Amino acid sequence: ADAAASWPPAAAIGPLQDALAKAAALGITDGNDVDAAKDAIAAAERIAALAAEGEGVQPRRKAAAKAAEEWQVARKVESLREEGEKVISQRAEGAQKLQAYVKETRASSIVGDWADADGMLCRLKADGTVLVPPSRGSGGAWKLTNEDGFGASVEITLALAQTTRNGVPAGNREHTLRGSVASGTMTGTVETTMFGSVARGDLELTKM
């Protein structure tokens, strides 16, 4: 009876088996006490088996719960990464569009016809060439020397018609125009070489 009341039940199996062995040695192999002891052993073995199975289930449940938690964290991190990449891509696309808009606006402010106080002086083309009316000289080329937002600085090389003091045409002489373009105007300097020396003057052109 003391063995059958032991806890945990697995602790009762050994003493009960010893008790049955002693009883058998005395010639007692059946009866209510023997049957009760055998039933107690069987019950204790079942309980011990269930307990062992339960001990294995609990760690598996904890491992499964931990794995599920780690998966949720990993999925959240992945979702945040994807969202971050999406935002970066949208910002990059926006920056590219803005850059293209600024470039197009800047180009449109430069390319076209420009005039001085005497009328049309030159036409700046998108391919970098410069056209000049025959009465004003001959064409040349232009290039960007600086870019600043929507504004820019350019250098223009062309040949301007020259006349003598008496108004007689004296051919064309190469000039270099350097100016900043903003709000439809080009201001800067005009340079040319005369008699081995550099002559410089102010530049002020208006977009036509």
179-191 pLDDT, tens digit each: 999 889 999 999 9
| pLDDT band at residue 134 using 50, 70 and 90 as cut-offs | very high
| pLDDT band at residue 139 using 50, 70 and 90 as cut-offs | very high
| pLDDT band at residue 54 using 50, 70 and 90 as cut-offs | low
Give percent above pLDDT 70 in the chain: 89
What are the backbone angles phi and psi of residue 197, rounded to the nearest 5°?
Answer: -120, 150
Q: DSSP string covering 68-103, please? A: HHHHHHHHHHHHHHHHHHHHHHHHHHHHHHHHHHHH
